[in-house]
Amino acid sequence: MIERLIVGALRTNCYFFSINKKECIIIDPGGDEELIISRIEVLHMVPVGIVFTHGHFDHTLAAMAIKNYYKEKGITIKLAIHEKDKSYLGHTAERVNRKHIKILGVEAEILLNQSFTSLPKANILLHEGDKVFNSKLNVLETPGHSKGSICLYSKTDAIIFTGDTLFFEGVGRADLPDSDEEELLLNIKNKILSLPPETSIFPGHGPLTKIEREIKGNPFFQ
């Protein structure tokens, strides 16, 4: 099961990925924690963990509320992020997010001021090839949008969650302080577009797509 919710002011794709009939993983809970919790309960699922494709605040903001909600029910939710993006969580979260959002201008800073809440620290630091919470998802390191950007790939299910690395007919922005455009495009080409063409892409924003479609139609790779 893959369920998508569009959350937060920046319309982030938050996903639920089932690992069995009763348990799921939450991917990128970027806001609207009540909506996320409500949907999980409607699905009669229990989240075992939260995994972030990267640390930017529009992918993390609901994490503390979700963690606390389930803690009151006696359920411990662990958080997983790539080691190089760990500073976006925990006691350094606000400082690091503010540092990297300045380039986006006044409106982005206002949004951060209005929406930012404290974020829990990561329990699990991910690296290339790691299995995510005993699921079929494995980590692909794809830095470029951020130093710790990752994709979550299941060869068995022919799916990949690309976060803000690759979108439908687009790529993640690479003008942030911890971005690298050359690295971003190289990783997309070598590690994502090299996957089987029938692989379904679940991006961090915007519509779903497939590897085959992006090879043929993504203007960054023509």
For residue 65, give the CATH number of its domain: 3.60.15.10
Q: Rounded distance, CA 203 to CA 139, Å? A: 15
Higher pLDDT, 113 or 166: 166
Determine the Cα angle at 157 with ends 154 and 163, to 5°. 50
**Count of domains forming the chain:** 1
The parent domain of residue 63 ranges over 2-221
In percent, the amount of the chain with pLDDT more than 90 equals 82
Q: Which helix (H) or strand (E) is 163 found in, with range?
A: strand 159-163
Q: What amino acid occupies position 49?
A: G
**Contact status, residue 57 vs residue 25, Cβ threshold 8 Å:** no
Helix, coil or strand: residue 201: strand
Q: Label residue 84 left, alpha or beta by phi (over 0 means left) and psi (-120 to 50 means alpha).
A: alpha
Take residue 157 and report the two structure tokens written for it: 């299910």
Report in angstroms the alpha-carbon separations of 42 from 3, 5, 17, 45, 129. Answer: 12, 13, 15, 8, 32
Q: What is the mean predicted confidence (pLDDT) over 197-222?
A: 96
Q: What pLDDT does 198 receive? A: 97
Determine the Cα angle at 148 with ends 142 and 150, to 5°. 40
Selection from 17, 29, 33, 43 nearest residue 131 by Cα:
17
Q: Rounded distance, CA 73 to CA 134, Å? A: 22
Tens-digit pLDDT profile for residues 41-70: 999 999 999 999 999 989 999 999 999 999
Tens-digit pLDDT profile for residues 67-105: 999 999 999 999 999 999 999 999 998 888 887 776 666
Q: What is the mean predicted confidence (pLDDT) over 146-159?
A: 97
Question: Which pLDDT band, with edges at 50, 70 and 90, does 176 fall under?
Answer: confident
